[in-house]
Amino acid sequence: MKNDVIIIGAGVTGSAIARYLARYDIKVLVLERNEDVCTGTSKANSGICHAGFDAKEGSLKAKLNVQGNKMMEALSKELDFPFVNNGSLVLCEKEEDRPKLEELLNRGKANGVEGLSIIDRKELEALEPNITEHAVAALYAKTGGIVDPFMLTIALAENAADNGVTFKFNEEVKEIKKVDGGYAVVTNNGTYEATVVVNAAGVYADVIHNMVSNDKMHIVERKGEYFLLDKSAGSYVKSTIFALPTAYGKGILVSPTTHGNLIVGPTASDIEEKDNTETTAEGLQEIRNMVDKRVVNCPLNQVITSFTGLRAHADRGDFIIEEVKDAPNFIDVAGIESPGLTSAPAIGVMVSDMVRDILKAAENKSFNPKRVGILHPFTMSDEERDKLIKEKPSYSSIVCRCEMITEGEIIDALTRTLPAHSLDGVKRRVRAGMGRCQAGFCSPRVMELICKYTGCAMEDVTKFGGESKQILGKIKESI
Amino acid sequence: MDERVIVCIGCPKGCEIHVKYEGHEVIEMTGNTCKRGEDYVRNEITYPLRMVTSIVPVEGGEFATVPVKTKSDIPKEKIFDVMRELTHVRVKAPVNMGDVVLKDAAGTGIDIIATRSVK
Amino acid sequence: MHCDLVIIGGGPAGLAAALSARENGIEDILILERDHYLGGILNQCVHTGFGLHTFKEELTGPEYAERYVNMVLDKKIPYKVDTMVTDIAPDRTVTAMNKDDGVMKIEASAVILAMGCRERPRGAMNIPGKRPAGIYTAGTAQRLVNIEGYMPGKEVVILGSGDIGLIMARRMTLEGAHVKAVVEIKPKSGGLVRNIEQCLNDFNIPLLLSHTVTKVEGDNRVTGVVVSKVDENMKPIPGTEVHYDCDTLLLSCGLIPENELTRGANATMDPKTGGPVANDHLMTSVDGIFACGNVYHVHDLVDHVSEEAVKAGAFAAEYIKEKRGN
């Protein structure tokens, strides 16, 4: 029953820590309040692999960002998730702001970012023909990239699970008690004990921290609204386009995604609500107003969805990764806002080293760092696909026609390690419903497959677990 | 004398028909472009009729349900009586388009028929 | 594999085009349909209102489809169901796949595009608020109710008064739901007046013109929506917000021709219709590729789709015969 480590939260941070902890011969349990991995901040962000010139010199953000960025490409091959090194640009929109660009360049160099340069209007135009006419120069970061945040998180978690880490879902932590030799974590379902507890609870990290410490923490939810555009708009820019940063972060960016969509956002407003992911008319209007300052005539008529993400902003302004002073063996990994996604692998290494030292853990000799992702037949040649279909006919049947997702892929998502249980779970794993019709066509068929492979009734199928039911009964029941 | 504007549902044109009537008797009708409209308005002021369509479950067929309709119009006031009676109807495959799935629905004298074949 | 005429889509347009091409002397025809059966979207349109022009009687969607399917079967026109076309090259090589044939390449002398259309999703409308379960396009709800026999919800608000939305207001009411309002941003409904009459007025469902949904509420399932009046520029007027408790929001905000394959074939598109540009022989900018039905432009009536498809079939037949030199 007793675990060596309990990780609270199965977002990208918790999953990365779990994955790197799997390298040691210890018993690791991940507790997640929602029904799946990647359901909080990790699922709603820009999907950027930042180069690392933003954060202040000497900060954890700076260090882990640059490390994470350097790890990402190799990790994407090891764990089979989409990553593209598309480069990023910070636009200087006023002549008088040039010194700020220089400042950013110097900070980046101090942070250890390679391949930074300032380019003039001419080079910028050659790189990005749709760039705003106001841009006079830009900082070009060759190492900037984009990553699929869902697949990064899922891949880390799956690889952790494949190497023996246990994940428990729908476990909401209610209380944490200090017990002999560690902690007892009480959830809505039971009590779990461990020597070390890692708090990777995202916007809830303050609530979890405050359960064990008198030195109270405060996390502010910094809300960011986004537009996602159709793939037909995906090549509108090649690089990720930022403005010069302000107090509220990096401002509204325009970027392709790893799947060829275009993402525009985020806004930034501080709220004090942990789960308020609603979009607002004002927020969406702000994006429309701001996007023109980055690119010319952004095709916003091709928006396929809008969404809101919450960044977990700590008062300290930097990542908080440390053992809690009045709670030995309790490690906070809090305030993981941007560049948290990029930093996740480096955070995983850092925290797993801390835990190893506490537990004096031995290596896990059978650790397998490789994970094979879900096969997407449309990345294959016609000949390969033909052969595949003849072996496995379920790969011939298209369920999601926007993203060309086959039944075989959905079955894989529903039956592999850490399987999907809901429509959103399937969507994050294989992109069925992520396309331009936004699940209009495929959802009845995905629902049928969920019933078939999880053994539930249509009335039990949810969008994202809990009470998010898709169907409210059979016809004629209440005439 | 009463006066009403009735939108004809007989075809996609949707003529606006002005009718003056006394009890069940039409005194004047304008705006209809065909005989169907005239008939429709006469019915509307005396005894409105509607077609009802729905689906019923099929056992052992290639599909789980089969669409159905009233073979002809039924009194509008009987729509939900017919729907309630359909609640109990189940059919076994094979079903042919036009097969009767329920005789004399809700005492209207009108049968319910399948509108698709299910093997 | 070679084929004189490949028809992409076995809905009303594809079936009528195939019959017409056959009547005009083309023997070697292949219809490719991605669903399990022919007939397309008509199979889920169980309401009446089809066929007045074509058959001189009022039919339901499935009846209209079955009559055409029976004619195609009678004429022994070959077809493949459960078959997805993944690419049409400008040289009319059609790539398709199904479980029996695997990936196949068909070199067609002519191609008729008859893929139909799809619904405009929520994202395209940018309704602010949360993203709970219970938001469906009217067509998805129609499939769940009319094919699968499930209720997507019980307390319903419908945004958009297109015909599918109106039809679904009635269908869901008949099956036991309570439709609280149909909300239309324009000052006039996009649906047929007879549908407003028989689908809304018959059941006392209010139609709110010049209104729109300005917020979706609910953390898990939809719990309500906010409806606001809009001004002449279709912008919501502050202070006019009215809250509706509901568990479901259906969207019926228009249809878009489904042209992924058309674009892949490099056909010139018409931004006004969303379909390909075609000449008066219904041929797109790509030689030998024709288009008809809702993939070309969205039609109000299936009868008009069939009519257009008959022409496309005849033009394609003429084209094939000309190329053969007879």
The ipTM estimated for the assembled molecules is 0.94
Q: What is the pLDDT, as a whole number, of residue A117?
A: 97
Residue that terminates a domain, selected from C199, C222, C251: C251
Tell me if B83 and A479 make a contact (CB, 8 A cut-off): yes
Same domain as A307, residue A162:
no
Judge if A253 and A307 occupy the same domain. Answer: yes
Residues shown for chain B: 119
Q: Which residues of C touch A274 (CB under 8 A)?
A: none
The correct answer on CATH 2.30.30 for the domain covering B2-47 is: no
- In chain B, % of residues over pLDDT 90: 92
**Do B2-47 and B53-114 show the same overall fold?**
no
* Contacts C46 to B, Cβ<8 Å: 53-55, 67-69, 115
CA distance C131 to C248: 12
Q: Are residues C234 and C282 in the same domain?
A: no
Interface test with C, best of B4, B35, B116 (most C CBs within 10 A): B116
Rg (CA), chain A: 22
Asked if C37 reaches chain A (Cβ–Cβ under 8 Å), the answer is no
Q: Write down the CATH number for the domain with range B53-114.
A: 3.10.530.10
Q: Where are the domains of chain B?
A: 2-47, 53-114
State the DSSP code for A42. G
- The reply to whether C191 and C210 lie within a common domain is yes
Task: Evaluate whether C267 touches C289 at the Cβ level (below 8 Å).
Answer: yes
Please judge whether B69 and C43 are an interchain contact, meaning their C-beta atoms are less than 8 angstroms apart.
no
Q: Note the Cα A434 to chain centre separation in Å.
A: 15
A49 assigned to some structural domain: no
Size of interface A-C (CB pairs under 8 A): 142
**CATH classification at residue A258:** 3.30.9.10
- Is C105 found in the same domain as C15? yes
Q: Residues of A with catalytic annotation? A: 50
Q: Based on the domain organization, do A257 and A136 belong to the same domain?
A: yes
Residue pair C168/C250 in contact (Cβ under 8 Å)? The answer is yes
Rounded to 5 degrees, what are φ and ψ at A184? -110, 120
C144, C185: one domain: yes
Residue C38: which of C1, C87, C71, C5 has the closest Cα? C71
Say which of C124, C214, C220 has its CB closest to residue A281.
Answer: C214
CB contact under 8 A, B80 and A476: no
- Contacts of residue A295, defined as CB under 8 A and 6 or more positions apart, other chains included, come to A128, A130, A131, A132, A236, A237, A241, A254
Give per-residue pLDDT as tens, A359-410. Answer: 999 999 999 999 999 999 999 999 999 999 999 999 999 999 999 999 999 9
- Strand-strand pairing, A240-243 and A88-92: parallel
Which CATH number goes with the domain that contains C152?
A: 3.50.50.60
pLDDT band at C123 (very low <50, low <70, confident <90, very high): low
Give the integer Cα–Cα distance in Å for C300 and C294.
9
Instruction: Sort out which chain B residues have CB atoms less than 8 A from C192's CB and list them.
Output: 12, 14
Report how far apart, in Å, the C-alpha atoms of A27 and of each of A22, A62, A175, A224 are: 9, 31, 21, 36
Q: How far is B55 from chain A (nearest CA, A)?
A: 9
C24-40: average pLDDT: 97
Q: Spell out which residues of chain B touch residue C63, defining contact as CB-CB under 8 Å.
A: 97, 115-116
- Predicted TM-score (pTM) of the model is 0.94
- Decide: A128 and A89 in contact? Cβ < 8 Å: yes
Residue A248 is predicted with a pLDDT of 65
Same domain, A134 and A234: yes
What is the residue range of A261's domain? 85-144+220-311
Are residues A289 and A435 part of one domain? Answer: no
Q: Considering its fold, how many domains does chain A have in total?
A: 3
Do C104 and C75 sit in the same domain of this protein? yes
To 5 degrees, how large is the angle CA C108–CA C112–CA C114? 135
Chains that touch C (3 or more CB pairs under 8 A): A, B
Flag residues of chain A having pLDDT under 50: 1
**pLDDT value, residue A2:** 87
In a domain, A78, yes or no: no
Continuous H helices in chain C: 12-23, 61-74, 138-143, 163-174, 193-195, 260-264, 302-324
Does A387 map to a domain?
yes
Residue A479 lies in a domain: no
**pLDDT per position as a tens digit, B8-54:** 998 888 999 999 999 889 999 999 999 999 999 999 999 999 999 99
- Position B46 scores a pLDDT of 92
Question: How confident is the model at residue A273, as a pLDDT?
Answer: 86
Q: What is the CATH number of the domain that holds A453?
A: 1.10.10
- The range of the structural domain enclosing residue C182 comes to 121-251
Do C161 and C240 belong to one domain? yes
In the predicted model, is pLDDT for residue C232 greater than 80? yes
Give chain C's domain count: 2
CA atoms within 13 A on the CB side of A26: 29
* A242 & A299 share domain: yes
pLDDT at site C124: 60
- Same-domain check for residues A234 and A138: yes
Residues 204-243 of C with CB under 8 A from A: 214-216, 219-221, 236
Q: Are C248 and C155 in contact (CB under 8 A)?
A: yes
Residue C196 shares a structural domain with residue C214 = yes
Residue A32 class from Cβ within 10 Å (0-12 exposed, 13-18 middle, 19+ buried)? buried
